[in-house]
């Protein structure tokens, strides 16, 4: 029986691609680098901010260059991370229904912890999730399962009682590494084909379908 649902954030609960894209493009321009096609960013995100910057820069960029552009990105994103970002359709109602069912809810994101908490609180309030974990110092990003272990330990729930919900192969691999089932979100950044190839246990086409899958597993 499922007692805990751990959600990815970007591409799962929220459509944040516009603000992420704008902040990276600003940082690139400020440091003299060429722009990337905007649609390419749905494939650049997913493994944390440093990896996003590395992928956005021309191949062969040095560690020093990556850190410099990352700093400019972080400063820009901190001030502009909620201009275009919004929950996907039906997500707020889904969270309400899951809260009413008594299931514990958590967020596990590769977005820096500061930004993860800021965005979740701004868009959903501070009472929807039992805990929110973003990228923290010393904790590897997904697909390492460490962030999942820390959430389960904090909330006192076993892997058999937990499911991970995400939109990419990174989330599926994370779930598999932690011994969890994974539900894929077809509406996210990557789409159904990637989720199916990665081995998602189930794929929800919309938030209502996702809610039904979770509630059925919680019975």
Which residues are tagged catalytic?
8
Residues 6 or more apart whose Cβ sits within 8 Å of residue 1? 161, 217, 218, 219
Same domain, 122 and 71: no
Same domain, 166 and 200: yes
Give yes or no for a contact between 183 and 165, defined as CB atoms under 8 angstroms apart: yes
Same domain, 129 and 43: no
pTM above 0.85, yes or no: yes
Residues 6 or more apart whose Cβ sits within 8 Å of residue 148? 6, 108, 162, 164, 174, 175, 177, 178, 180
Same domain, 111 and 211: yes
Q: Alpha helices of 45-139 — where are they, by DSSP H?
A: 49-56, 63-80, 91-101, 113-124
Same domain, 96 and 55: no
Same domain, 89 and 59: no
Per-residue pLDDT of the chain (219 residues; tens, 9 = 90+): 999 999 999 999 999 999 999 999 999 999 999 999 999 999 999 888 999 999 999 999 999 999 999 999 999 999 999 999 999 999 999 999 999 999 999 999 999 999 999 999 999 999 999 999 999 999 999 999 999 999 999 999 999 999 999 999 999 999 999 999 999 999 999 999 999 999 999 999 999 999 999 999 998
Structural domain of 45: 17-80
Number of domains making up the chain: 2
Same domain, 96 and 191: yes
């Amino acid at each position: 029986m499922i007692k805990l649902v751990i959600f990815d954030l970007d591409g799962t609960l929220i459509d944040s691609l516009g603000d992420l894209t704008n902040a990276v493009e600003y940082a690139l321009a400020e440091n003299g680098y060429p722009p990337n096609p905007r649609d390419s960013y749905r494939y650049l995100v997913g493994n944390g901010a440093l990896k996003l910057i590395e992928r956005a820069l021309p191949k062969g960029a040095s560690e020093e260059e990556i850190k410099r552009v990352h700093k400019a990105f972080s400063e820009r994103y901190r001030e502009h991370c909620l201009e275009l970002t919004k929950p996907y359709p039906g997500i707020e109602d889904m969270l309400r229904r899951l809260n009413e069912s008594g299931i514990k809810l958590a967020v596990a994101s590769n977005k820096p912890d500061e930004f993860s908490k800021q965005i979740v609180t701004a868009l959903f309030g501070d009472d929807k999730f039992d805990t929110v974990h973003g990228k923290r110092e010393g904790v590897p990003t997904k697909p390492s399962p460490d962030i999942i272990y820390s959430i389960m330990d904090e909330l006192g729930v076993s892997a058999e009682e937990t499911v991970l919900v995400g939109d990419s192969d990174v989330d599926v691999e994370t779930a598999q590494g932690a011994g969890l089932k994974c539900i894929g979100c077809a509406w996210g950044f990557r789409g159904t084909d990637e989720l199916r190839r990665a081995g998602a246990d189930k794929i929800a086409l919309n938030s209502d379908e996702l809610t039904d899958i979770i509630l059925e597993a919680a019975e």
